[in-house]
Amino acid sequence: MRQAPTLLQRRIVIGAGLCVIAFVLVGLRLVHVSLLESWDGGRAHAPIVARADLTDRNGELLARDLPVKDLYARPQFFNDKAEAAGGLAEATGANAGRLLKAFENAKHPYVLIARQITPDTEARVMHLGLPGLEFEPSARRYYPDGRTAAQVTGVTDLDNNGISGLELGLQPEIRAAAAPGHARGQVATSIDMRVQFILQHEVEEARKTFSARAAGGVVMDVNTGEVLGLVSLPDFDPNQRSLDAGDSRRNIMAQDVYELGSVFKIFTFAMALENHTLKSLDEVFPIGQGFKIGRHTIHEAEHMPATLAARDILAQSSNIGTSQIALRSGGEHERQFLGHLGLFKPIRTELPETARPLYPSVWGDIQTANVAFGQGIAVSPLSFAAAAASIVNGGRQITPTFLKQPSRDRRGGQLISPQTSLEMRDLLRYVVTDGSGKKADIDGYDVGGKTGSAQVAGPNGRYIPHALRTSFCAVFPVHNPRYLVFVLLDQPHGTRQTGGFALAGWTAAPAAGRVIQRIAPLLGVPNNAPPTRLAREAP
């Protein structure tokens, strides 16, 4: 007969059973926490979206992911929620009121305190000694050059997704280069940070000197379309999530359209030479005091002589002379020619920022005359630069790109004849040596270019009195063109040094010249300065 278990044995069995149940519960809890949705509605850990480095064409870093952490809290562990909210707000910069409200009314056991905190912030949080805090690994995009290439590089959001600039436009390439097993690990852009720094400095100096509302610049290879530098001012610090006073994320060179004024005369003269409606560059045109077309009268920005030869119409930037030349071709030819250059469509590049041009719906004589000198048509500066590059590079189509290209020649189909392109380069050189672009003439670098001083339209559609938008389009070396430099100043003001003048020859042209003087040696453009003259000995 089996003996009944003693009291001690019963207690041992009960204790062992409780231990087994406890281990089972712990095991189930671990399974749910690690594999399944947690019992307390715990948060899901978001995967880190890796991004490859962005670099300039020479390998200099433009953007890189840095390891950071997101901070979460479990407010049920706080003894004093108000004190915890205040301490965490002071340590992280979060809003104390938001934290306290979340701690007291949280339907979810986890509350997000701050994202992408730095090691210094993490140390301050740990110093609080609060229970229930969790740090989740994350990544934050860092831009070592700060404002210098802000608009062109762009930024990412808190989830490391590109939201502007090349960060958005090149996002597939950036993510693909960061994929496991990818050998490259970086995306090389066309930007040359040496050129970018110089362009940024000179455009900013010109903006300050002439108190301009905004300013911008672009440097482009006319044979590959590679953009070596692009500046838009005002700019911003991409390493900050908020804008300082006066900052702007808008890229005026790509996503704004402007009436650019007399730089458009480049296209009018190219059209006339291509169509052979201009008999000779020595042909003389009457200028007078005004040119009437119906009820409209076209005037000059500056005093002009009674007559001008065709080459001097461009060199001195005569609106009246240019209008007469355009009317010889006619409105239909002008519209077709500008459309052929791609000026009637938004330009497509790796930058997501773009703009739709504005041009006349009815193209009569007055529209033909106005468009001839850049009034009544508005395009983005980047779109203008691409069309101008096609005029000087042998007449072949060029598409801007922000990716480093392996080929030294990416020119497309023929838009104008090589002979017309050659004649235009001669004309642009003449503008700099004998016309309105003299202040862009840099010894030894054979610069050609054209000034542009446009009226500024106000909100009511009327032009603002005495307000100008000035620009200068330069190409060098003009007889073997390699690079185009375009500088834009929005509503500059004359200074004592300029005698109060704010036209492009005084404002934008000198800035473009200084850019060329500084970047040409870096880009390997030879200085073809004339040989030194030795003083003759006295007899």
What are the φ/ψ torsions at residue 133 (nearest 5 degrees)? -100, 145
C-alpha distances (whole Å) from 233 to each of 64, 202, 208 are: 24, 12, 11
Give the length of the chain. Answer: 539
Contact indicator for 137, 69 with CB cutoff of 8 Å: yes
Torsion of CA 475, 476, 478, 479, to 10 degrees: -140
d(CA 512, CA 507): 9
Given pLDDT bands bounded at 50, 70 and 90, which one contains residue 474? Answer: very high
Give the residue, 25 or 189, on which the prediction is more confident.
189
Query: Does the active-site annotation cover 262?
Result: yes
Percent of the residues in the chain that have a pLDDT greater than 90, as a whole number: 77
C-alpha distances (whole Å) from 48 to each of 34, 67, 137, 140 are: 18, 10, 8, 10
Helices (H), ranges, 93-184:
96-105, 119-127, 150-153, 165-169, 171-177
* For residue 291, pLDDT beyond 70: yes
Quote the pLDDT of residue 526: 85
Percent of the residues in the chain that have a pLDDT greater than 70, as a whole number: 88
Quote the pLDDT of residue 38: 41
Quote the pLDDT of residue 32: 46
Please report, for the chain, the start and end positions of each structural domain, with discontinuous segments joined by +.
66-142, 195-522
Token readout for 428 is 């642009």
Least confident of 148-152, 237-241, 349-353: 237-241
d(CA 430, CA 308): 14
Report pTM. 0.85
Q: Give me the catalytic one of 138, 262, 380, 421.
A: 262
C-alpha distances (whole Å) from 273 to each of 264, 268, 329, 393, 464 are: 15, 9, 10, 16, 34
Instruction: For residue 434, count CB atoms less than 10 angstroms from its CB and return exposed for 0-12, middle for 13-18, buried for 19 or more.
Output: middle
The DSSP-derived string for 291-344 is EEETTEEE--SS---SEEEHHHHHHTT-HHHHHHHHHHH-HHHHHHHHHHTTTT
Contact indicator for 227, 401 with CB cutoff of 8 Å: yes
Quote the pLDDT of residue 184: 63
66-142 under CATH 3.90.1310.10, yes or no: yes
The residue type of 367 is: Q
Quote the pLDDT of residue 533: 44
SS3 state at 524? coil
- Whose structure tokens read 């009195």? 465
- What average pLDDT does the segment 208-221 reach? 98
Given pLDDT bands bounded at 50, 70 and 90, which one contains residue 35? Answer: very low
381-392 vs 265-275: helix crossing angle, rounded to 10: 40
* For residue 253, pLDDT beyond 50: yes
- What average pLDDT does the segment 104-119 reach? 84
* For residue 16, pLDDT beyond 50: yes
According to DSSP, residue 462 is labeled S
For 513, residues 6+ apart whose C-beta sits below 8 A from its C-beta are 439, 440, 441, 442, 447, 474
- Half-sphere exposure of residue 11, counting CA atoms within 13 Å on the CB side? 3
Give the domain 195-522 fold: Beta-lactamase (3.40.710)
Given pLDDT bands bounded at 50, 70 and 90, which one contains residue 301? Answer: confident
What are the φ/ψ torsions at residue 136 (nearest 5 degrees)? -105, 130
Given pLDDT bands bounded at 50, 70 and 90, which one contains residue 537? Answer: very low
Give the residue, 513 or 180, on which the prediction is more confident.
513
Given pLDDT bands bounded at 50, 70 and 90, which one contains residue 39? Answer: very low
